[in-house]
């Protein structure tokens, strides 16, 4: 199976040797998106603001492949503070409709750049 990198010009790319995402067959794997603006600067202090920006970045990456949040089948959420889960859940509920993507939430001790969270996804071309 051939893999193709994806990248949006409206969202920052990942640090280090990684792609913003990879398209492989009918699946698109999007690297964890942080709450950073186009210049790579942190956005918002609240978990709700940061979740919104991370989801915007995720949507930008997906649009670069012709997909949208409606095509997401799985989400992986990394949280520094478990108290932020309610705000993240509200942001997810505002952006996704039933049937909702499968989701896993993992607590992490830190994330780069003052981020309180990151959100990665797998989307499918139907």
**Digit-coded pLDDT (tens) for 6-53:** 999 888 888 789 999 999 999 999 999 999 988 888 987 899 999 999
Q: What is the pTM of this model?
A: 0.94
Domains (ranges, CATH) in the chain?
3-124 (3.30.1330.40)
The number of residues in the chain equals: 126
Instruction: Return the exposure string of 40-66: e unless at least 16 CB atoms fall within 10 Å of the residue's CB, then b.
Output: eebbeeebbebbbbbbbbbbbbbebbe
User: Quick check: 100 pLDDT over 90?
Assistant: yes
Per-residue pLDDT of 61-99, as tens digits, reads: 999 999 999 999 999 999 999 999 999 999 999 999 999
For residue 124, what pLDDT band results from cuts at 50, 70 and 90?
Answer: very high
Residue 119: closest CA among 30, 43, 45, 39: 30
For residue 55, what pLDDT band results from cuts at 50, 70 and 90?
Answer: very high
* End-to-end CA gap in the chain: 17
């Amino acid at each position: 199976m051939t893999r193709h990198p994806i990248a949006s010009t409206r969202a920052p790319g990942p640090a280090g040797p990684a792609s913003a995402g990879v398209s492989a067959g009918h699946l698109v794997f999007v690297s964890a998106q942080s709450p950073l603006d186009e210049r790579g600067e942190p956005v918002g202090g609240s978990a709700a603001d940061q979740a919104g920006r991370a989801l915007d970045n995720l949507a930008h990456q997906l649009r670069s492949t012709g997909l949208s949040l409606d095509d997401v089948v799985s989400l992986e959420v990394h949280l520094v503070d478990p108290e932020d889960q309610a705000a993240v859940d509200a942001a997810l509920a505002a952006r996704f409709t039933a049937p909702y993507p499968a989701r896993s939430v993992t607590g992490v001790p830190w994330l780069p750049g003052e981020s309180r969270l990151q959100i990665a996804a797998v989307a499918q071309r139907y």
